[in-house]
Every structure is written in structure tokens, then in C-alpha cells.
Structure 1
Amino acid sequence: MEPSQPTPPTPPPPGGPQPGGWPAPGPYTSPGMPYAAGPHGGPPGAPGAVPYGMPPRRSTNGLAIGSLVSGIVCCLPPLGLILGLVALPQIRRKDQAGKGFAVAGIALSAVSCLLLVVGLASGAFGSAWNGFQKGVDEASRSRTPYSLRAGQCFSDDSKEEEYATDVKVVDCARPHDGEVTGDFKVTGFDKWPGDDPIDRIAQTRCETINSSYALDTWKVPKDVWTYYYLPSSQSWRRGDRTVTCALATEKAPFSGSLRSDSTSLTLDQEQFLLSLNPVEKLGYEEPEEDPDEDFEANRKWAGEMLAAIDSARAGVRDHDWPGTSKAALAALGKELDTASKRWGRLAAAADADAYWEAYDAAWDALPEDLGAEARTALGLTDTPPAGEGAQA
């Protein structure tokens, strides 16, 4: 007998259950959704779901990336080498990406280590570092006059130019062209006034600032004078209103700080200089015309000298000087008493002839050194600068 063909099963009604011998169709997804269930059975789009038919993405080893970065920047060559060597077995064990990063990092770091060893052995690395430090130092000391501050010493190679644009700050112990004494802001102008008005203001203000900064005038070299940096019309438009005052020379550089004010003087030293400096200053301001040409100007000046001498007498007499300087200050006080009488006659002269008769006696009575022995006793500069014209 021929085997009979099995009778096909009766199809189930639509929507009914499938008989055990036929697989159910599936899995089905919603129309237009190419994702199946996630690997943990979650719904499509849940955490851990992956695109249908694609394997999960491999993570990149972090140490491999660190090795490559360290090798590229060459900052710590051994670090890049170590990170790469540690990363390779981790990549194999965890089936991670990044092997190329690790290999490249190891290679670059090895080259950097070799160059470092050669540089240290030959001294080239030290020379390069010294050159870098020198460049940084030069850049930090090079600046515009606008940025200078009181107490800084500087060299200026632009003295022949109309406006200085680049000065170099140096140690005051080294030779330098000038020392900054202070600064001030120009006020009272709505627009650029021109060089001359600012120059006149700067001359007066900077002389006052310099006098307060360098009270010990004998410490100032004879070729050092009042100096200042003015705003230019261009810097004025940018808001620059600063005048920088200095004691500077256009001749041979000098060494050492000229500062002698309340920050560096004792109270006794400051008292002495504040008492005697006005007499010294006025001595340089005698009128150029003699009494026969301008009698009134000369008599007025003699009266100002008398007032300064009397003020110095009071300053010397009324101060309690330290024991080692008492004798020298007492002797200076007696000289000032005599000078006051002689200058009183000069200031009271009735005419040019009487002025000339009292003139030499007045100068002879005034101590020429204005108390060199007292200066020595107080620890001040006891030798005036060589030549005339040494003033702040």
C-alpha cells in the first residue's frame, strides 16, 4: 500500500490559536520601527536596546587615550609610555577599542624620553631652559613709562626720541638712567591741551614730588635732574592722563637708589633734612639780575632766605637729638643764629648800595656745608656731590 498522505489540518479561524505543529509568525514590531526588544527583554528604545542586526559598540580604553595625549604634548614622556603599556592588556582582556591610540602613545613617549635623555646629557636642554628664562625675564622688565611705579629704577634707550615707548626696569644696584619718584594725573582739560601746558604742570609738580622722595639731596649725583614722562596726543585719546616723575640723567648711568624719605629715614634724619633743605633750595634760586638791575627781586629773595634760615634754627633748636649728635647740632644752631642776623640786614637793605654792603657778610655767615658734621653724626650723606647743580 502506498502510504497515505496525511490530511491537512483544518485552518483555524482568523485570530484563533495556532496548533502545536506550526510556528507562530514573529517577532513583529510596530510599522516603521526597525528595533526589536532590548537584550534584557525591555521594550524597544529602553536602556540597553541596540539597533536590529548590529552588535553592541565597543568602549575605548581611557588609558590608551591618556597615553596618546601625553605622547603628543611631550610634557611627561614616561607617563605616556606607562599608560600605553598598561592599556594594551586591558584592551585585550575587556575587548575594548583604542589599541592604535596606545601604540601611538607608546611610540611618541619613547621618542620623547630618548630626546630628553640626549638633551640632559649634552646640556642642550639646560641651555634652552636658560634662554627661555632669560626671555621671560626680559619681557617682564620691558614696559612703557606709563606702567612704571615709584621706587623702580630703569634704563631708557629712547632718550633721543620725542616720546619714550619702551623702558626697561632694572635692579637699582645696577647702573641705570633713572629712578621713578611718583606720578600724578593731569586734570582741568576737556581735550588735548598740547605739550607745553602739561610740561609746565609737570615741571612744578615733579619737582615737589622729587624733593619729598629724595630728602637727602647730597645723595643725588650732580648730573641727575628732575625728569618726567608726559602723555602724548595719541595716548591722551586712549585715556592716558598720567605724568610719571623721575630723577634721571642723560649722561653716565648711576647706581644705587636715591630714595630717602619717611620709608627709609629715621625721625631724626627726617627732621634735620626738612629743616635745612629749604635753605639749600633757595640758595640756588638767587635772581639772575643783580640788585642794580632788579633791586626788589633781590630783596624779596633775601627775605625768603631769612625766613628759611629762621625756620631751620627753630627745627634744630626744638628737636631732641640723639646723644651722639647733640654737640654737632648745637654748633650748627649757633651758626644759624649768626646767619639770621646777617641775612636780616641784607633783607632790610634800603637800596642797591646798602644791599651790596651786607651781601658778602650774609653769605659768609651761612654754613657752606649746611652742617656736614651734623650729617655725619646722624648717619646721612656727609659729602655733597662734586660740582654745582646737585639738586632734586
Structure 2
Amino acid sequence: MEPTPPSQPPEPVTPAAPAGPAGPPAPAAYPATGPYAAPGPYTSPGMPYAGLPGPYGPYGRPPATTNGLAIGSLVSGIVCCLPPLGLVLGIFALRQIKKREQGGKGLAVAGIALSSLSTLLVVLGLLTGQLQEAVKGFREGVREAASARSPMDLRTGECFLDDAEQGEYTLGVKVVDCSVPHDGEITGRFEVTGFDRWPGEKELEKLGEERCDALASAYALDTWTLGAEAWSLYYFPDRQSWREGERRIACGLGGEERTKGSLRSDRTTLTSDQIAFLTHTNPIEDAVFEEPETGPEDEIETNRAWAADVRGAIDLARAGLKARTWAQPVRAPMGAYLASLDSASKQWEKLARAKDADTFWEQYDRAWELLPENGSAEVREALGLTDTPPAAPGDHGSA
């Protein structure tokens, strides 16, 4: 048997509203025609959105802007270029923020604090003189940076300072007078040719060693002025400089320690007699300097070839010096020097013909005795050249 449906409750009775003044007639109601809700909370056209109380709509109060002077105060306080400026901007910013109800109070306070600290430091610097020293150092640094020049742009004979360590890239050198301590002096430069692209550091180093050694030898003919610490320098372009069109290699003379005075003794600074003497005798020094590191016990042929080269250089010097007519003050010391070269030539010939290592060593010491390092000192003195040999024997050959 089917259950009996519950009886329907009686409809509630709505009490009648109290009578009041008659108002405008109510608009006709439109029944909902689907699942969509009735029109939203909009009011009459042209009126503000309904929602939160007050004159603003549901989006609330517009965000407050940040005061520009507050930002300027903070920036001035951080940069510290004009400390009082940040202080003044911060004070004015606080006044505007209060009147205009803007943001940026924290920025203004921070700017005031930083600017006050910077101002205090400036005042202390003025009182103690440290600020003047800092400004002076800054100006000197600017001047040094402005005076830095590329080594490739220096003229032959100019001396320079270079703060870069050996093997490091050089951003620029500073030209100084050769009478003050300096790192090196330019002996010349040459153009790199035969490469369509950057050849690499190894190839440029090889070119620098070969060509700069020759330039150094021509620049410092009086090799006795060099000493053991002098060596040939060279500057070559890196990849970026090569791309920008730099193709030159600059050559120079320098040492581990800074030196005073120029090392230049070339055809522009020497007399004809000085040039003649040095161009004939320097090859002897160069030949002696090439002595093999391996002894005759292991490489007899190499050592005999070296002795033959020395003897050849001696004979060329003898012939050239004898063919020239020397000034009267030079003739006597020159005659003694030529006699020593005659004896040395014979002894070095014996060394070059040694049959074995024992024979080589028997002739070796005598060959050096007849070719003493200071054998030409009297001739040099008469010619007005350096008459004191370098401290380290054998280290005064061409750079």
C-alpha cells in the first residue's frame, strides 16, 4: 500500500505593512526566466557603483603616490657627491608627504640619515686635510690615466713606465724623461705582414724575439753599457687590437729593476771611429756568447764549430780594424789590442781543430786567456766609450 503523502503546512500569513506616505509607483517586476540571477547591485545609470559605503566604489581608495623628493634624497645620500643636497631634499620631502598624504617617508628619512653622515665626513675631511689628499690623489689618477699611451705610439729613444708584470697585458705606458728611473726605452717598431687573420700569441712572440733582438743590437752598439740585467722587450697586439687594425710590434730595452739614463748608443749618438770599432768587435762578443751548453765529451763537433765561429769573428775584426786609419790617441792602444787578436786567432784555430775532448780542454783555457773580456778597455777609453766591462762575464752580448 502506498504511503500517504504528508499534509501540506498552511501558508504563512504576512502581516500588513503599516500605512505610510504614498510613494512613486513600483516598477513592474520581471520574473526570472532561467537559472541566471536577477540583475546585480547596479543603481540607476550614471550613478556610482553600489557596494562599500562611502564615495568610492568596491575597488577602494586609489594607491598613494611616492614623493619624488624622497627618492632624490635617498639617491643623493647614497651617491655622496653633494651630501647637503640629500639632506635638503629629505626635509622638503617630509613636508610634502604630510600635506599630500604621499608615500616615501622611509626613503626621505634614509636619505636624510645618509646625507647627514656624508656631510659630517666631508667636514671632518676638511678639518683634517684628508679630503684634500683624496682629491689630489683622484686628480693624479685621472692625469695618469689620461697620459697612458700605447707602446706602439712611442718614438725610438723614449723612456717609459709600465706597471704591468712581465707577461701580463699592458693597457698603456707612461712616457718619462730617461734621467728618472724607468722600466724601459723604445728601440724601434716594425709592421707585422703576411697574415690575413690574427696569427696568435706564439707567432707574435716569435717575431718579437727575432726582430726586436736585432733592433736592440743596433740601438745599443756599446754593449758594455747594458749589464747582465738588460734584456730585449717587445709589445704585440692582442686579438681585439688586431681586429681594430693594430699590426705593429714595439721593441724596447729594459730590466728587472728600473734604471736611470738612456742605453742608446747608435749611429745617431756615436762618432764614426766609435761606430767602426764597435761594429767590428761586437760580433766577437756575440760569437763567444753562443758557447754550447753541452761539453765536448758529448758533442765535440758542436764545440769545434763554435770555436771556429769565434775564430772567424776575430779574423774579421782584425782585418777591419787594421784597414782603418785611427786618430793619434787611439793608435797605441789599438796596436796592442790587434796584437792580442793575432794571438787569439791562432789559439782559437787550434781549439776548432781539436781531435777529441781531451785535446779540446787542453786548448780551451789558453784561448780564453788570449781573449780577455777587458782586452779592449784601453781602446774604448781612448775612443770615449764605456771602458768598464759588465759585471757578469759572457752576459754582455747583444740583447
After TM superposition, the structure 1 = structure 2 runs for residues 112-261 of structure 1, keeping only pairs within 5 Å, are 138=144, 141-160=147-166, 162-250=168-256, 252-261=257-266
Q: Say if 2:373 and 2:389, in contact at 8 Å, map to a contact too.
A: no
- CA distance in 1 between partners of 2:224 and 2:147 (Å): 29
Question: 1:253 aligns to what SS in structure 2?
Answer: strand
- Contact kept, 8 Å, 2:314 with 2:345, in 1: the verdict is yes
Shift of 1:137: 7.3
Cα shift readout 1:60-91 (whole Å, capped 9, x = no counterpart):
xxxxxxxxxxxxxxxxxxxxxxxxxxxxxxxx
**Which of the two has higher C-alpha Rg?**
2
How far apart are residue 138 of structure 1 and its match? Answer: 4.9
Report if the CA contact (8 A) 1:343-1:362 is conserved. Answer: yes
Task: State the one-letter code of the partner of 1:361.
Answer: R
Q: CA deviation at 1:352?
A: 2.4
Q: Name the Cα RMSD after superposition.
A: 2.2
* Cα distance in 1 for residues equivalent to 2:383 and 2:320: 15
Are 2:354 and 2:360, in contact at CA under 8 Å, matched by a contact in 1?
A: yes
Q: 8 Å contact 1:181–1:210 — kept in the other structure? A: yes
Report Cα offsets for 1:181-215 as digits up to 9, x if no partner. Answer: 00111222222221112111211111111000000
Identity %: 50
Answer yes or no: is the 8 Å Cα contact 1:276–1:370 preserved in 2: no
Distance 1:266 1:146 in 2: 29
Summarize the Cα distance change of 1:206–1:160 in structure 2 as closer, same or farther, 3 Å threshold.
closer
CA distance in 2, matches of 1:160, 1:355: 40
Pairing partner for 1:377 from 367, 376, 382: 382
In structure 1, how many angstroms separate the alpha carbons of the residues matched to 2:199 and 2:314? 40
Residue 161 of structure 1, CA deviation: 6.1
* 2:204 and 2:236 in contact (8 A); partners too: yes
Change (3 A) 1:279 1:161: closer
Deviation at 1:387?
Answer: 2.9
1:135 Cα deviation (Å)? 8.9
Match runs of 1:320-359 below 5 Å:
320-359=325-364
Segments ≥4 residues shifted beyond 4 Å: 133-141
Structure 1 match to 2:271: 266
Report what 2:106 is aligned to. Answer: none
TM-fit CA distance, 1:333: 0.3
Q: What is the Cα deviation at residue 141 of structure 1?
A: 4.2
Distance 1:313 1:373 in 2: 16
Distance 2:295 2:141 in 1: 58
Aligned residue number for residue 362 of structure 1? 367
Task: Say if 1:137 and 1:329 are closer, same or farther in 2 by CA, change over 3 A.
Answer: farther
Q: 1:256 and 1:190 mapped to 2: Cα distance?
A: 40
TM-score normalised according to structure 2 size: 0.62
Q: How many residues align?
A: 262
Partner of 1:390: 396
Seen in structure 2, the aligned counterparts of structure 1 residues 141 and 332 have a Cα distance that, compared at 3 Å, is farther
Aligned residues of 2:296 and 2:357 also touching (Cα < 8 A): yes
Say whether the 8 Å CA contact 1:223–1:390 is kept in structure 2: no
Partner of 1:112: none
TM-score when normalising by structure 1: 0.63
* Contact 2:162/2:174 (8 A) holds in 1: yes
User: Aligned to 1:290, which of 279, 285, 295?
Assistant: 295
CA distance in 2, matches of 1:174, 1:168: 12
1:288 is displaced (CA, Å) by 0.3
User: Match for 1:335: what amino acid?
Assistant: S
Answer yes or no: is the 8 Å Cα contact 2:150–2:171 preserved in 1.
yes
Secondary structure class of the residue paired with 2:250: strand
1:218–1:384 CA contact under 8 A, matched in 2: yes
Structure-2 separation of matches of 1:209 and 1:263: 14
Which stretches in structure 2 are left out of the alignment for 5+ residues?
1-135
Deviations 1:301-348 (A, max 9, x none): 111101100011112211111111110001000000000000111112
Deviations 1:2-25 (A, max 9, x none): xxxxxxxxxxxxxxxxxxxxxxxx
Residue 177 of structure 1 aligns to a residue whose secondary structure is strand
The answer to whether the 8 Å contact 1:346/1:358 transfers is yes
The alpha-carbon distance between structure 1 residues 161 and 276, as it changes in their structure 2 partners (threshold 3 A), is closer
Q: Please give the alpha-carbon distance, in whole angstroms, between the structure 1 residues aligned to 2:379 and 2:143.
A: 43
Distance (whole Å) between structure 2 residues aligned to residue 367 and residue 161 of structure 1: 36
1:316 is the counterpart of 2:321 = yes
